[in-house]
Chain A
Amino acid sequence: MSLLNVENLTLQFDTDEGRITAVDNVSFSLEPGEVMGLVGESGSGKSVTAKSLMKLNAGNGHYTPESKITLHLDDGPVDVMSLKTPREMQVVRGGAISMIFQEPMASFAPALTIGKQMVEQLLIHSDMTKKQAKELSIEMLDRVGISDAATRFGQYAFEMSGGMRQRAMIAMALSTKPKLLIADEPTTALDVTIQAQVIDLMKDLVDEFHMGIIFITHDLGVVAQTADKVAVMYLGRMIEQGPVRDVIRRPQHPYTQGLLDALPKLDDLEAPLTPVAGDIPSPLERPSGCVFHTRCPKIIGDVCKRDVPQWADTGENHRTACHLCAEKGEAA
């Protein structure tokens, strides 16, 4: 049984300038122990989608009634959309779901020791005593490769380097033994050498704890190294999803192809860099039909401007929302 089912998730924000659709009819599922990479440019809605799973989005956000998020836990399914009070939401906020943020400096409180923050969340989400919580926290710090964990436990975030803070963040997120871990650009602020260490650590921890991970990133290289499957988002819509090998080797959507072409490749230094033409449109001026048609190099015609493309099967468990693929499918 899946760990997580997201169906028809649509989220709109009311702003002074008008209603913005941040997430548009997104559906996906995640198995336990599976790592899903969520890829897209800034403004594509990947962070907002992930935050919806914990209902962490701002108060001016509205979920449509069709939106459905179900989390399957040991003691039965949880309907995330129906959670209202903070007490009810504890189960998805730090209980069964933990989140690692991009900027580890900003995600620790500066005036409390790392240890105090780790113990606090354990006291809230489990029935441990303070002493047990401290022991577990130190053990987790040690587990993520922080040397001299007992001393680090008593230190503040500013006393640690960026890589170490991110490790501490991971230790803290995993100490509640979550079923689902959301990692929002966890390595973007780190140097490549430290990024490689953190990626390795996360892979080990998946094997050990067998949780599902949603890995949000804009770096397709990081996705290739960590994820089992990939979902590509553009302007709030999911446009392609499938197994990581298939999507990276045989990208079907013109946008996914564009993202891959724009990456500098080390094995061919002479190859020109080809940017995806144009800029991502403002969410206030959402294009009609296929949201990518304003920048698409392979636009077929009016159908792209008029109709929202439906999912077409483009391989085993590989789906693409593009009129081009739908046409090919019919022809075949």
Chain B
Amino acid sequence: MSDDLLISTRDLCVEFKIGGGLFTKQILKAVDGISIDIPRGSFFGVVGESGSGKTTLGRALLKAVPIARGDANYDDGEVQYDLTTLAGPELKDYRKRAQLIFQDPYAALSPRMTVRDIIAEPLEVMGLTKTREETDARVREIAEKCRLNLEHLRRFPHAFSGGQRQRISIARALVSGPQFIVADESVAALDVSIQADVLNLLKELQRDLRITFMFISHDLSVVAHTCDHVAVMYLGRIVESAPTRQLFENPRHPYTKALFSAIPSLDPDDRGKAQKLEGEIPSPTNQPPGCKFHTRCPFATDICKREEPPLDTCEEGHAVSCHHWQELGEAVPA
């Protein structure tokens, strides 16, 4: 089983130093002890509110922020890298294998480059193609896969709508032939009609090219439709992680349940039934002791304020970090 894991982390921590003063230096734990396994060819979802550390986790796996502690390994069958120590030529090689798709397709594309140049840039920078003909051929191949009109390659990004721009960003991420793509809120800025189109495209690429995706999102309904496995994050920790179906049918953690009920229902007669979560996510520089969710949890008891709950396995592949998950069972926050 472990042979098939593309990414595997144990107690991964990412920390930032903030405050420049002599006595005011603080450490912000953005990612705090995360252990995840991402199987090859899967669509792995990470969900959480802003400030939960989901973006930092994605960046750490791409070696875009330094890893403070813990293990992180990458293995695509061809090469194996220890992400904590990766450097030099190996890091350069890893950049070809792991790519990022950004949230905002309006900010991610240079307005002064043509679509062809945008997609070709990674090939030229990484030295993947030798001649211009070779580059052009590769760009056309990828553009077709991303359902871009080949006539559009000579245009500039301003001529395109949000959905088309996001397809250009996807083409750019794909052009180096990566095995692993982190899609950070890649559909959050799009209209629903286009969102569905981009999600379908990502799923197609996962299937056809056997690419492993880490899909970061705050939108549970989008995650439910695309991902095989979902991890729910809160203040830098994973509070629950399970195969998508299982998580949606039987959420265990009070935070996951609250997230579900906060999704606005399409049924106008459902009004007022949603369970409201009080308060806001605490500042990561000033984290509560014990279970980090206890300040907003309707079921918190003394032990929650004192001790950090372990990540228990409640079913095959379903882990939850809550002192009371067994007693709570099906209970929903009142």
Q: Which residues of A contact B (CB under 8 A)?
A: 41-43, 161-164, 191-197, 199-200, 218-222, 224-225, 244-245, 248, 258-260, 262-266, 269, 272-276, 279-280
Q: Which residue of B lies closest to A261 (CB)?
A: B196
Complex interface bits, B108-123 against A, C-beta within 8 A gives 1, otherwise 0: 0000000000000000
Contact present for A191 and B49 (CB under 8 Å) = yes
Contact present for B266 and A269 (CB under 8 Å) = no
Complex interface bits, B217-231 against A, C-beta within 8 A gives 1, otherwise 0: 011111011000000
Query: Which residue of A197, A274, A279 contacts B276 across the interface (Cβ within 8 Å)?
Result: A197
- Whether A42 contacts B191 in the complex (CB less than 8 A), given A194-B280, A266-B221, comes out as yes
| Extra pairs beyond A224-B270, A244-B268, A275-B200 (16, CB < 8 Å) | A41-B191, A192-B262, A193-B49, A196-B276, A196-B277, A197-B276, A197-B277, A221-B263, A224-B264, A248-B266, A262-B193, A264-B221, A266-B221, A266-B260, A272-B200, A275-B195
B236 beta carbon closer than 8 Å to chain A:
no
Contact present for B224 and A161 (CB under 8 Å) = no
Contact present for A224 and B267 (CB under 8 Å) = yes
Q: For residue A42, which residues in chain B have a CB less than 8 angstroms away from its CB?
A: 162, 191
- Whether A193 contacts B163 in the complex (CB less than 8 A), given A224-B267, A263-B266, comes out as no
Question: In the bound complex, how far is the Cα of B173 from the Cα of A91, in angstroms?
Answer: 51
Contact present for A196 and B221 (CB under 8 Å) = no
21 contacts between A and B (CB under 8 A): A41-B194, A42-B162, A42-B191, A163-B280, A191-B218, A193-B49, A199-B264, A219-B192, A221-B263, A224-B266, A225-B268, A225-B271, A264-B224, A269-B225, A269-B248, A273-B195, A274-B196, A276-B193, A279-B163, A279-B164, A280-B161
B197 beta carbon closer than 8 Å to chain A:
yes
Q: For residue A275, which residues in chain B have a CB less than 8 angstroms away from its CB?
A: 193-197, 200
Q: Which residue of A lies closest to B49 (CB)?
A: A191
Query: Which residue of B162, B269, B281 contacts A245 across the interface (Cβ within 8 Å)?
Result: B269
- Whether A193 contacts B259 in the complex (CB less than 8 A), given A219-B264, A263-B266, comes out as yes
Question: In the bound complex, how far is the Cα of B220 from the Cα of A224, in angstroms?
Answer: 18
Contact present for A195 and B262 (CB under 8 Å) = yes
Q: Smallest CB–CB gap between B119 and chain A, Å? A: 19
Query: Which residue of B200, B220, B224, B266 contacts A192 across the interface (Cβ within 8 Å)?
Result: B220
- Secondary structure of the B side of the interface? helix
- Whether A41 contacts B193 in the complex (CB less than 8 A), given A221-B263, A266-B263, comes out as yes
Contact present for B193 and A259 (CB under 8 Å) = yes
Q: Which residue of A lies closest to B283 (CB)?
A: A161
Q: For residue B281, which residues in chain A have a CB less than 8 angstroms away from its CB?
A: 191
Interface size grouping (class) on chain B:
35 or more
Q: For residue A191, which residues in chain B have a CB less than 8 angstroms away from its CB?
A: 49-50, 218, 281
B199 beta carbon closer than 8 Å to chain A:
yes
Contact present for A196 and B274 (CB under 8 Å) = yes
Question: In the bound complex, how far is the Cα of B248 from the Cα of A280, in angstroms?
Answer: 33
Q: For residue B221, which residues in chain A have a CB less than 8 angstroms away from its CB?
A: 263-266
Contact present for B49 and A218 (CB under 8 Å) = no
Q: For residue A41, which residues in chain B have a CB less than 8 angstroms away from its CB?
A: 191, 193-194
Question: In the bound complex, how far is the Cα of B192 from the Cα of A211, in angstroms?
Answer: 30
Q: For residue B264, which residues in chain A have a CB less than 8 angstroms away from its CB?
A: 195-196, 199, 219, 221-222, 224-225
Q: Smallest CB–CB gap between B292 and chain A, Å? A: 15
- Whether A264 contacts B193 in the complex (CB less than 8 A), given A192-B263, A193-B49, A196-B277, comes out as no
B245 beta carbon closer than 8 Å to chain A:
yes
Q: Which residue of B lies closest to A189 (CB)?
A: B50
Q: For residue B270, which residues in chain A have a CB less than 8 angstroms away from its CB?
A: 224-225
